[in-house]
């Protein structure tokens, strides 16, 4: 049986490709594999950046496999260590993940994209939350979307299932860049390489600070950071990399980051 997830290591970059014909829909088994892949990425010190994309030209991911649902798979199935799609609930993922959206991103596919850090879309990419038409709730989007875009826009998308194109998604700040489809992976790889050459401990601290303080009052959030109550921040402040950054600046050279 063909594996629904393909991976390729390119130096410090891991490319993860969802490849589940015909539409790249995700069932529980696929989700568990994705969780294992991204947990492995998280835990591998040699890997610094991941790119998530999908096979084909029409579909990125339409979300939950409704054929599996019709066959009895429940919405609260065991989706594995990272929750649906392997990313949404994966603890401690402190490395950058780029999403290269090569087509239709509906439902859970849209939600998986929202779980990534930087979104690059092909010109023909489209987005929607059509869960209302199948009698279920876009749970992750209901949590995340009103925090990312204006409340009334988020509610419209959730309540109507309306499709938006890549240009509208970018207008609302949901997409960083739009590129021609034949340049999508080239652009994602260029950006991934740029990040892979960056300071991994700083990236880890940025992700943890955002994740652990976004719900806190500002002063409490400052205290978490300045008093080194977050493990990634504490590790950064006492690291060789922080000393290297200061030395490189003083010596007017490019720093060599070692992640320690």
For residue range 231-255, list pLDDT tens digits in order. Answer: 999 999 989 999 988 899 998 898 9
Return the active site residues. Answer: 111, 131
Average pLDDT of the segment spanning 195-208: 95
**For the whole model, what pTM was predicted?**
0.94
Residue 207 has pLDDT above 90, yes or no: yes
Token representation of residue 159 = 């309540």
Residues ≥6 apart with Cβ < 8 Å to 72: none
| E-only strand ranges, 19-160 | 49-54, 59-61, 97-101, 104-106, 118-122, 126-128
Residue 1 has pLDDT above 80, yes or no: no
Residue 74 has pLDDT above 80, yes or no: no
Provide the pLDDT confidence category of residue 150 given band limits of 50, 70 and 90: very high
Go through the chain and tell me how many residues it has.
260
């Amino acid at each position: 049986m063909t594996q629904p997830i393909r991976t390729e290591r390119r130096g410090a970059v891991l490319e993860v490709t969802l490849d589940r014909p015909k539409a790249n829909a995700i069932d529980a088994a696929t989700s568990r594999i994705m969780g294992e892949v991204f947990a492995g990425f998280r835990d591998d010190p040699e890997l610094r950046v991941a790119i998530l994309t999908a096979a084909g030209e029409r579909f990125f991911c339409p979300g939950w496999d409704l054929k599996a649902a019709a066959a009895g798979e429940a919405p609260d199935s065991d989706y594995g260590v990272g929750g649906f799609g392997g990313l949404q609930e994966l603890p401690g993922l402190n490395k950058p993940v780029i999403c290269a959206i090569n087509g239709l991103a509906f439902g859970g596919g849209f939600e998986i994209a929202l779980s990534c850090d930087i979104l690059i879309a092909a010109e023909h990419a489209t987005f929607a939350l059509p869960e209302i038409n199948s009698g279920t709730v876009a749970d992750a989007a209901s949590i995340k979307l009103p925090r990312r875009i204006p409340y009334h826009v988020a509610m419209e998308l959730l309540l109507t299932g309306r499709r938006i194109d890549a240009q509208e998604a970018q207008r609302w700040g949901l997409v960083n860049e739009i590129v021609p489809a034949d340049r999508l992976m080239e652009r994602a790889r260029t950006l991934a390489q740029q990040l892979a050459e960056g300071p991994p401990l700083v990236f880890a601290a940025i992700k943890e600070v955002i994740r652990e303080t976004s719900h806190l009052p500002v002063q409490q959030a400052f205290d978490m950071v300045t008093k080194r109550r977050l493990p990634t921040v504490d590790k950064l402040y006492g690291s060789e990399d922080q000393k290297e950054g200061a030395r490189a600046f003083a010596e007017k050279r490019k720093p060599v980051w070692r992640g320690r």
